[in-house]
Structure 1
Amino acid sequence: MKPDAPRHPAPPDAEARRGVRPVICYPVDGLPQPDLAALARLRAQAATRTAVEVPPRDARCVEVPAGCFFRIVSVGGPQVGDLNLWNANDLTERFYSGKTRALHGTHLSAGDRMWSVFPHMRPMATITEDTLDWYGFDEDGGSVHDVIGTRCDPYTGTLLSGSDYHYCCHSNLTRALSEFTDLPLRKAEAHVHDVLNVFMCTGFTRDTHQYFMKASPVRPGDYLEFFAEIDLVVGLSACPGGDCGQEHTSDKAVCHPLLIEIFETPEALRENHVQPEPSHYDRSHGAA
């Protein structure tokens, strides 16, 4: 645990040092913005292709072609989900939650994009609709759809409690990707990565600055919808924490299924979609 008080005295200019103005690390004024109105017109021409139910304390993977839409829907009761994205043609290109957080902030909503890892660094999906956008930030500093947390996992659970639990989101996503790709379990696990915590309400406590969760405001019928910028494999785990109002990494919480709906746009319109190009950085890294 951290000490209750600093171990070193403050210097005479401590207040001046604390009082400097913050600077945004990654100004996004030059970042190309998605045309949500154009995407809405495209969405109006899309038809339901398929729907996949994700059982409680389990995960499923589905493929979503570039130029189509997919939606994560609350059904049955309040439930959060952990979302992974992969390039359907190259699993090593996957969602980069840390850089997405640096560009868009701790919590995502409509107009934000999910970016891929280096060296690709391109938008994989754009959020187009969010029925929980009314929530904003509450008095605790909490909000929904975070890119702060990593995913509940058996390794941290074993470290903190000394017991193994196999149906946390990391394990769920590992099984689902293994089944979807026919990869051995341990090879599939290497591709599972930090998530977008869909519907989860989170923040940092003001006193100890610890990551917290509170009961999600999601209700049946709420959804988060995305436009697939590239061909995607979408992995979603229905978290064992249920609405994450109490605890996760156990069977104690009441859990509900989630639904992944895929909406297919007409083929001619999909062919007109220009997939974002990977980063143009030359990858020389300053070497002679």
Structure 2
Amino acid sequence: MGFTHSHSEVVPASTARAYQVAAHQRFRIVAHEGAQVCDAAFVGADNHSVTYSSDLSVLFNQLEGTGDIHSLETLYSRPPDTEPMVRVTEDTIGHHFPWAGGMCCSYLYEIRDDEPSHENCADNLLTALNERGLSLEKVPEVFNIGMHVTVEDDQIQYLPPEFGRGDYIELEPQIDLIVGISSCPNDTTIMNESEPKSLEIQFEDPPR
């Protein structure tokens, strides 16, 4: 007997939500309205110092032959608590930005677009995670889902998304987690096809 659908939630466009997810309770982040970048933060539910490490995740996946700078099979936590945090069980999006760990913030919009008060993932995630009982002053590193990035001539290039309506990534926590999901508010570049959209989160229960 396999996983069964439990319930769905919607993260409205340009906002963030946080959820407590038990170990081995799978969930899907679905681009149900079209291409939409998601910044996902992972924090240990029992130990809030356990958070995602972007550089170690890419390194370990390359050493294991399970991923590269665009796609991962396992997300690892930062030292000194390094361990598998999340496994990717299905992925129809396929092209992500897992190796930097950063997110849009007010200063980015200020220097790039002269819009320092623009909604951003950093502020949204900090609010959403703290509403779940955390006391964070800074947002942990994030996994940038669906962000199409490459490097040319030693410069980071941001490209149009390569996925569309209905595409998803399915994740299975290896430990109990608090998961922050931000539907990226970027409407000044091609990142979200210049139009932020909502995301659907589909939760599944493991076999009993």
TM-score normalised by the shorter chain: which range applies? 0.7 to 0.9
Matched, 1:107 2:70: yes
DSSP-derived class of the 1:203 partner: strand
Specify the alignment match of 1:256 in structure 2: 197
| Number of corresponding residues | 201
How many percent of aligned residue pairs carry the same amino acid? Answer: 29
Amino acid at match of 1:115: Y
DSSP-derived class of the 2:147 partner: strand
The 5 A counterparts of 1:151-166 are: 151-160=103-112, 163-166=115-118
Q: Is the 8 A contact 1:128 1:227 kept in 2?
A: yes
**Which consecutive residues of structure 2, in runs of 5 or more, have no partner in the other structure?**
62-67
Structure 1 residues 215, 243: CA separation in 2 closer, same or farther (over 3 Å shift)? farther
Query: In structure 2, how many angstroms separate the alpha carbons of the residues matched to 1:224 and 1:242?
Result: 23
Q: Is the 8 A contact 1:200 1:243 kept in 2?
A: no
Specify the alignment match of 1:78 in structure 2: 35
Structure 1 residues 196, 103: CA separation in 2 closer, same or farther (over 3 Å shift)? same
Query: In structure 2, how many angstroms separate the alpha carbons of the residues matched to 1:178 and 1:145?
Result: 26
Structure (1 or 2) with the greater strand fraction: 2
Q: Is the 8 A contact 2:34 2:166 kept in 1?
A: no
Q: Is the 8 A contact 2:29 2:170 kept in 1?
A: yes
DSSP-derived class of the 1:103 partner: helix
Q: Is the 8 A contact 1:71 1:226 kept in 2?
A: yes
**Which consecutive residues of structure 1, in runs of 5 or more, have no partner in the other structure?**
1-43, 134-143, 269-288
DSSP-derived class of the 2:117 partner: coil
- Residue 49 of structure 1: CA displacement? 1.9
Structure (1 or 2) with the greater helix fraction: 1
DSSP-derived class of the 2:49 partner: strand
Specify the alignment match of 2:10 in structure 1: 53
Q: Choose which of 188, 191, 194 in structure 1 pairs with 2:136.
A: 188
The 5 A counterparts of 1:84-163 are: 84-104=41-61, 105-109=68-72, 112-133=73-94, 144-149=95-100, 150-160=102-112, 163=115
Specify the alignment match of 1:138 in structure 2: none
Please give the per-residue CA displacement for 1:235-269, whole angstroms capped at 9, x wherever unaligned: 111112269526x8xxx931110111111113x4x
- Residue 180 of structure 1: CA displacement? 2.0
Structure 1 residues 80, 161: CA separation in 2 closer, same or farther (over 3 Å shift)? closer
Query: In structure 2, how many angstroms separate the alpha carbons of the residues matched to 1:243 and 1:102?
Result: 32
Q: Choose which of 135, 138, 147 in structure 2 pairs with 1:200.
A: 147
Higher relative contact order (CA 8 A, sep 6+): 2
Matched, 1:241 2:186: yes
Q: Is the 8 A contact 2:57 2:75 kept in 1?
A: yes
TM-score normalised over the length of structure 2: 0.87
DSSP-derived class of the 1:197 partner: strand
Please give the per-residue CA displacement for 1:64-96, whole angstroms capped at 9, x wherever unaligned: 111211111011121111111111111111111
Please tell me the root mean square deviation across aligned C-alpha atoms, in Å: 2.2
- Residue 147 of structure 1: CA displacement? 1.3
Query: In structure 2, how many angstroms separate the alpha carbons of the residues matched to 1:243 and 1:148?
Result: 23
- Residue 155 of structure 1: CA displacement? 2.8
- Which one has a bigger Cα radius of gyration? 1
Amino acid at match of 2:49: T
